[in-house]
Amino acid sequence: MATVALGSSAGKWIMVSSIMASAMAFIDSTALNVVLPSLQQSLNATGTDLFWILNAYLLMLAALIMIGGALGDKLGRKKIFMTGIFIFIVGSATCGFAPDVKLLIACRMLQGIGGALMIPGSLSLISSSINEKERGKAIGTWSAFTTVVTLGGPVLGGAFGDAGLWRYIFFINVPIGIVALFILWFKIKESRDETNAQTIDFPGAISIALGLAALTFGFLRVPAVGFGHWQVYTSLTTGIVLLTVFILIESKSTHPMMPLTLFRNMTFSGVNLLTFFLYAGLSAAMLFLPLNLVQIQGYSQLQSGLTFLPFTILMIGMARFAGGMADKHGPRLLLISGPATAGIGLLILSFVKQTNGPADYWTTFFPGIIVFGTGIAFTVAPLTAAVMGSVSDHFSGTASGVNNALSRIANVFANAILGALAVLFFTGALQQDIQNIPLNEKQKQTVMAQATNLGDAKVPADFNTHNQQIIKKLYHSGFISVYARVMQLSALLAFLGALMSFLFIKNSMVKKETSS
């Protein structure tokens, strides 16, 4: 397909449609964490339910995102992009109408399938359609607009959550997606790789999707039934076997979705290990911080969304500078210091106890968010440069897809494992503290039954006022203890990411032709 100028009518329509489609995914991911407290109350969801609502989407995205890019190259980028947008808006609309948790989880899976086709399609369409000399500028424009949209996501989510309109986080995707579909249908020509004769690696996609789902189910069942239950060890064993099968499929496939030969390059392996650990920590922190702010510290959901503004402003302000530093001096030092700084920020956040609400924000949560945000801002651009620079140009798209998928897999594991640990920590703290309260066994069981709700645990209404106040304090102190442990584990994951950079990433990244 002949490429077009960025400033031409066709170039502008390509940019508008790509930015609009990407905006849906970014708004959805950043706003949803902020409205989780409102959603939890509305649907009577447990803490485990919340982790499934997040993971249902991420599972499909992680398993299928590399397949989505390959389908676009083979069958037509515009066609697959439009299919992804259509599935995503159908999934969004059904999420908005979902009457209960189970249906919401199923609809989130549908959203994930759409996202796996849609997210690779936006950059793929820009890269294949815009003139090579203006491609960097086009991707920079896309990045700038999507970052600004991401900035507004938590604020929008907070406003909807406070108004009891959390469902509109999903509904807002529908008009945006419909406009993007009209632009693509009427204004943009089809683009495909005519030389692409590769088959699609469906066995690999199926094995990794089922493997991740089995592991997730196993970990999230632990708080309810314990590690010794047959559901847990059967699920975890099945997950490990299926992921092993996935690796075997990839090692023998002619056209694997994740070419294992790429990992022979130490820098590529190191940057992907960094991605896995850092994004796992980031995911857990971004989940538990809003829950703490709203359910324990007394912030409104809008105020909770606004607390993320310094983080996003730092991302916008420093990302370009960090990218320039990586170009000039190499990414290694930034990929060691950036994750380490983020880890220090998470540690600072872990020490915040019960506060007086938003009035104390500047002396409690703000310092940690600034340090954390600075670390992430200095990491993202050099990380992308290291991924793309560690392989030959022929494999740049595949390398990007692998790294993108690993960040989603990290989110899945963080939500599943740290989510299960959070419920176990909360239950353990309650069991110990409740012994000091004069309650009978039935009353103690009633109190403990709320443990799976974490920060949304409700004090039994039939208790006397004195006991209600004591139990409310126990719930709050228990969740703050859980929050501290999760943030400390997240900090450890960020430090592990920095260690991976120190051990494996080199500045002398000569691109090598890697054959599959």
How much is the pLDDT for 466? 82
Intrachain domains 1-196 and 269-509 with the same fold? yes
Q: Could you give the CA distance from residue 371 to residue 426 in angstroms, rounded to a whole number? A: 28
How much is the pLDDT for 26? 79
- What is the residue type of 288? F
Contacts with 372 (C-beta within 8 Å, 6 or more apart), sequence order: 285, 311, 341, 342, 345, 346, 348, 349
DSSP character string of 342-407: HHHHHHHHHT--S--GGGGGGGTHHHHHHHHHHHHHHHHHHHHHHHHHTS-GGGHHHHHHHHHHHH
Distance of CA 163 to the CA centre of its chain: 25
User: Where does residue 141 rank: exposed (0-12), middle (13-18), buried (19+ CB within 10 A)?
Assistant: middle
One pLDDT digit (tens) per residue for the chain, 516 residues? 567 777 788 888 888 888 888 888 878 877 888 888 889 889 988 888 888 898 888 888 877 877 787 777 777 788 888 999 999 999 999 999 999 999 999 999 999 999 888 887 777 777 777 777 776 677 667 766 776 676 678 888 888 888 888 999 999 999 999 999 999 898 888 776 666 556 778 888 888 888 888 888 888 788 777 778 888 889 999 999 999 999 999 888 887 878 888 888 888 899 999 999 999 999 899 889 998 998 899 899 899 989 888 887 887 778 778 777 877 788 889 999 999 999 999 999 999 998 888 999 999 999 999 999 999 888 887 887 787 777 775 666 677 778 878 888 888 888 888 888 888 888 888 888 888 777 788 888 888 888 878 878 888 777 788 888 888 888 888 899 999 999 999 999 999 999 999 999 887 643 444 444
Dihedrals φ, ψ of 464, to 5°?
Answer: -70, 160
How much is the pLDDT for 514? 42
96 near 43, Cβ under 8 Å?
Answer: no
* Domain over 269-509 is classified CATH 1.20.1250.20: yes
Measured CA angle at 385 (ends 399, 188), to 5 deg? 65
Distance of CA 115 to the CA centre of its chain: 12
Give the residue carrying structure tokens 């089922």: 210
Q: Could you give the CA distance from residue 310 to residue 306 in angstroms, rounded to a whole number? A: 8
Q: Identify the CATH number of the domain defined by range 1-196.
A: 1.20.1250.20
> Is 0.95 surpassed by the pTM of this model?
no
Task: Kindly calculate the radius of gyration of the chain based on its CA atoms and give it in whole angstroms.
Answer: 23
How much is the pLDDT for 95? 95
How much is the pLDDT for 196? 57
342 near 379, Cβ under 8 Å?
Answer: yes
Q: Could you give the CA distance from residue 138 to residue 144 in angstroms, rounded to a whole number? A: 10
DSSP at 313: H
How much is the pLDDT for 171? 94
What residue segments make up the domains of the chain, in order of their start? 1-196, 202-254, 269-509
